[in-house]
Structure 1
Amino acid sequence: MAIEWKGIFPAFTTKFTSSDELDLPLFGKNLDAQVAAGIDGVILGGSLGEASTISIAEKETLTRYAVEKVQGKIPVVLNIAEGATSEAVKQAAAAAKWGAKGLMLLPPMRYKSDEKETAAFFKTVAASTDLPIMIYNNPVDYKIEVTLDIFEQLSAYPNVQAVKESTRDVSNVTRMINRFGDRFKILCGVDTLAMEEIMLGANGWVGGLVCAFPEETVAVYRLTKAGRIEEALAIYRWFLPLLELDLHPKLVQYIKLAEAQVGLGSEAVRAPRLPLEGKEREQILKVINTALANRPKLPVY
């Protein structure tokens, strides 16, 4: 399956049982809801998927399960976030074996590589696999910027096809388009900037709150792309307090609480993360429940 790299790609949460095992039935329930809402692909093992705490065996289980579950309706994309280039290459090969149809690739983890090293890392992984690749550009959280000059070098690799744009600078959408045209598809990776970046020409949205609110997320994207801006904006304004939960270091706990409230997940997280409690939980729950009490009726599109 070729990937078009457009539309809605949830950065999917990893569901756990109370005994800290993978909760595949709950994972599948949410995945079914996402597909029914009209998402265009799913990304496993990202930051929101608690990538740093899940094992290679668990990644394999999740990937094979998702591939079987979606039955070719959408592409399953596996995130790679590794410190060693050799390990990233191994995981790219494993992803293909497990049935993934694409990769999301972060710069090297834990070492702040310079521009030459960052480019070499991406080139080595890209050259090792035929899978389509989306580069994750998030200098705010990961301290390494994938510059336009790096993308210039990566343009020589046909399977490097897209960017998850998380620089927090909406102007970067225009910079990418001005320099590369449509060579790289651009997917907004910051929930609170999604509609703005789509209006500027982004091709899609790698979402967080979509895990709990797939229908609203798809509606904002499709209405915006159709030029029905007022209708999209009405949903987006309602959505914003929820989307802001994606910007916090505890985004995993916050989004999992939202999933639990809508019946698409649980609050179970893996240590060192701990479930929310006390005043903090009450505050986040208030945001979620206020939104649920005022949930908009979506237009036909």
Structure 2
Amino acid sequence: MTFDWQGVFPALTTKFTTDDTLDLPAFERNLQAQIEAGVDGIILGGSLGEASTLTQPERETLVRHAVKKISGKIPVVLNISEASTKEGIKVAESAADLGASGLMLLPPMRYKADDRETVAFFKAIAQSTTLPIMIYNNPVDYKIETTPDMFEELLELDNIQAVKESTRDVTNVTRLRNRFGDRLKILCGVDTLAMEELVMGADGWVAGLVCAFPRETVAIYRLTKAGRLDEAREVFRWFLPLCELDLHPKLVQYIKLAEVHAGIGTEHVRAPRLSLVGEERERVEQIIKKGLAARPELPDYSSL
């Protein structure tokens, strides 16, 4: 499948049973809610998808199941977050065989590669596949920044096409657009900055709270891109306290709890993560319940 890197791409959570196995019925229920809301693609096995705890057979199962259920309606993107180039290439080759539409690449895990090593890592994986690729640029969490100079080298490869922009610097959207024009598609990777970056020309949004609130997320994207900024702002102002749940080390637990309250998920996580308890759970639930109680009536965004 060829596709444009634009629109809303949920970084889906991975659903587990109480026995710590993949919960495919729960995964499918959430996936269907995303499709019905109008998302433009999905990302599997990302940080929010508990990538570090998934086995390769589990990743393959998720991709295979998603590809089957989606039936070509929207692209299925698999995240690669490996410690070695060799393993990254293996995942890329497997993704293509399973029918994935594209890849999202993180820099090397557990080793703080320098610029030359990071570029070589990305290029080696990209050269091993024909799948389109989005680079995940998140120096805050992963301590490696993919700079504009590094993108200058990376964009020598045609299948490196997009960036998940998570530097937390909104001006980076303009910086990248000025330098690369439309050659590099830009997708906001930080929920709290999404509307600002979309206004400044970002092509899409790799979203987290969309897992619990798909319609609201898609509405904000489409209203903003349609220039209906007053309506988009109203929804986004309601959404912001919920989006801030995406900025915490326990974003997986927080967002899964939001999915439960929204009726489209479960909160089972894989150890070493543990489900929320005590005061922390009460605090997060209060944010979620307050948001649900004030959930806005959305304008018709489906045709935008």
Q: Which residue of 1 aligns with 2:180?
A: 180
Q: Which residue of 2 aligns with 1:256?
A: 256
- Listed one character per residue, the Cα deviations across residues 97-124 of structure 1 (whole Å, up to 9, x for unaligned) are 1110100000111110111101111111
Q: Which residue of 1 aligns with 2:273?
A: 273
Displacement after TM superposition at 1:155 (Å): 1.2
Question: How far, CA to CA, are the matches of 2:102 and 2:149 in structure 1?
Answer: 23
Displacement after TM superposition at 1:249 (Å): 0.2
Q: Which residue of 2 aligns with 1:233?
A: 233
Q: Which residue of 2 aligns with 1:116?
A: 116
Question: How far, CA to CA, are the matches of 1:136 and 1:229 in structure 2?
Answer: 28
Displacement after TM superposition at 1:300 (Å): 1.4
- Listed one character per residue, the Cα deviations across residues 15-41 of structure 1 (whole Å, up to 9, x for unaligned) are 001111100000000000100000000
Displacement after TM superposition at 1:224 (Å): 0.2
SS in 2 for 1:261: helix
1:29 partnered with 2:29: yes
Aligned pairs for 1:1-12 (under 5 A) are 1-12=1-12
Displacement after TM superposition at 1:263 (Å): 1.0
Question: How far, CA to CA, are the matches of 1:72 and 1:151 in structure 2?
Answer: 30
| TM superposition outliers: structure 1 runs of 4+ over 6 Å | none
Question: How far, CA to CA, are the matches of 2:22 and 2:300 in structure 1?
Answer: 36
SS in 2 for 1:77: strand
Question: How far, CA to CA, are the matches of 1:210 and 1:116 in structure 2?
Answer: 35
Q: Which residue of 2 aligns with 1:191?
A: 191
Question: How far, CA to CA, are the matches of 1:124 and 1:139 in structure 2?
Answer: 21
SS in 2 for 1:257: helix
Displacement after TM superposition at 1:3 (Å): 2.0
Aligned pairs for 1:119-134 (under 5 A) are 119-134=119-134
**Amino acid across the alignment from 1:25:** P
- Where structure 2 has 5 or more consecutive residues not aligned to the other structure, the ranges are none
Displacement after TM superposition at 1:13 (Å): 0.1
Q: Which residue of 2 aligns with 1:294?
A: 294
Displacement after TM superposition at 1:138 (Å): 0.2
Q: Which residue of 2 aligns with 1:50?
A: 50
Displacement after TM superposition at 1:56 (Å): 0.2
**Amino acid across the alignment from 1:138:** N
SS in 2 for 1:181: helix
Question: How far, CA to CA, are the matches of 1:296 and 1:248 in structure 2?
Answer: 25
Aligned pairs for 1:122-161 (under 5 A) are 122-161=122-161
Question: How far, CA to CA, are the matches of 2:86 and 2:20 in structure 1?
Answer: 29
Question: How far, CA to CA, are the matches of 1:3 and 1:123 in structure 2?
Answer: 21
1:101 partnered with 2:101: yes
**Amino acid across the alignment from 1:171:** T
Question: How far, CA to CA, are the matches of 1:280 and 1:233 in structure 2?
Answer: 29
Question: How far, CA to CA, are the matches of 2:3 and 2:109 in structure 1?
Answer: 26
Question: How far, CA to CA, are the matches of 1:123 and 1:223 in structure 2?
Answer: 36
* Corresponding residue pairs, total: 301
Aligned pairs for 1:69-84 (under 5 A) are 69-84=69-84
SS in 2 for 1:135: strand
Q: Identical aligned pairs, as a percentage?
A: 69
Question: How far, CA to CA, are the matches of 2:190 and 2:270 in structure 1?
Answer: 23
TM-score (norm 1): 1.00
**Amino acid across the alignment from 1:233:** R
- Where structure 1 has 5 or more consecutive residues not aligned to the other structure, the ranges are none
Question: How far, CA to CA, are the matches of 2:107 and 2:257 in structure 1?
Answer: 29
RMSD: 0.5
1:244 partnered with 2:244: yes
